[in-house]
Amino acid sequence: MLEAKPVSTPAITGRRLSLHDGQPLSDPTTYRSVVGALQYLTITRPDIAFAVNQVCQFMHHPTSTHWIAIKRILRYIKNTYSHGLFYRPGSFTLTAYSDTNYAGDPDDRISTGGSCIYLGPNLVSWSSKKQQGVSRSSTEAEYRQLAYTAATISWFQQLFRDLRLPLSYPKLWCDNISAISLASNPVFHTRTRHVEVDYHYVREKVVCGELVVSYLCTTDQLADLFTKGLAAARFSSLVSKLPVRDLPISLRGNVKPCNQSTQNKVSTVFNALSNPAKSGHH
């Protein structure tokens, strides 16, 4: 892919991959190997989380169309190879965004949920994954994702308590008014009996004052990046708010070669660590 033409987004806008797209690959080994490498890359590159999540769903039966989707991700990485997450000092305040692409999978109509959590101005957690079951309404899908995100927030709260660090009440942003109503108003629950009891976990957190769920406009929903393929302008805008950007500094070309004496010392230490029994070190 070194000579491939770079692209500005890792996934095609408005289209989801299907199990039945394309022709089966004769040897899926390369497909699985590349997907495995991309999974490691998502640890520091949240901007490719949704695209990688898509191609991961076809490891058992990859096709030519799925391979094209992988090559698009690689073309995007080529265009942004020096990008990474940028961190800076900030406050101990948790802010989370939760969003869902309702019934987005063309094969089983399971919704895809996305979330991202900030500590001050810094992104510390993100997720893009299919939900565990089919939702009968967009409200249920959104409420489900609220529960997933609230559970992650609770883990961070417990971590800060164990570290004895102060942490103000988190705020969870969602762009679905009905889901927010379910989280704060029990009167609505009589109309949604098909929603399982454990999803009411969010409402318990709200009632106890441990979580504030608020509405924001869809255009300001940062988690939208983790639920679907977006147009270049929208994608670039959200990525800049993660923030994933070009590295401000580079050490490339500044590595000075060591002299022969230093090389001999390094070799001696390396051999000692590699063969502790032989060298007498334990």
Q: pLDDT tens, 24-39?
A: 999 999 999 999 999 9
Residue 200 has what pLDDT?
72
How far is 220 from 26, CA to CA, in rounded Å? Answer: 43
Which is nearest to 144 in space by CA: 153, 157, 135? 135
Q: What are phi and psi of 96, to 5 degrees?
A: -125, 150
Which is nearest to 9 in space by CA: 94, 80, 89? 80
Residue 208 has what pLDDT?
85
Residue 279 has what pLDDT?
47
Judge if pTM exceeds 0.85.
no
How far is 269 from 209, CA to CA, in rounded Å? Answer: 56
Examine the pLDDT at 126 and tell me if it is beyond 70: yes
CB 51 within 8 Å of CB 11: yes
Examine the pLDDT at 23 and tell me if it is beyond 70: yes
Structure tokens at 247: 């590295």
pLDDT per residue as tens digits for the range 156-200: 999 999 999 888 889 999 999 988 887 776 665 555 555 656 567
* Buried/exposed code over 137-173 (b: 16+ C-beta within 10 A; e: otherwise): ebbbbbbbbbbbbbebbeebbeeeeeeeeebeebbbb
How far is 191 from 111, CA to CA, in rounded Å? Answer: 21
Q: pLDDT above 90 covers what percent of the chain? A: 63
pLDDT per residue as tens digits for the range 137-168: 888 899 889 999 999 999 999 999 999 988 88
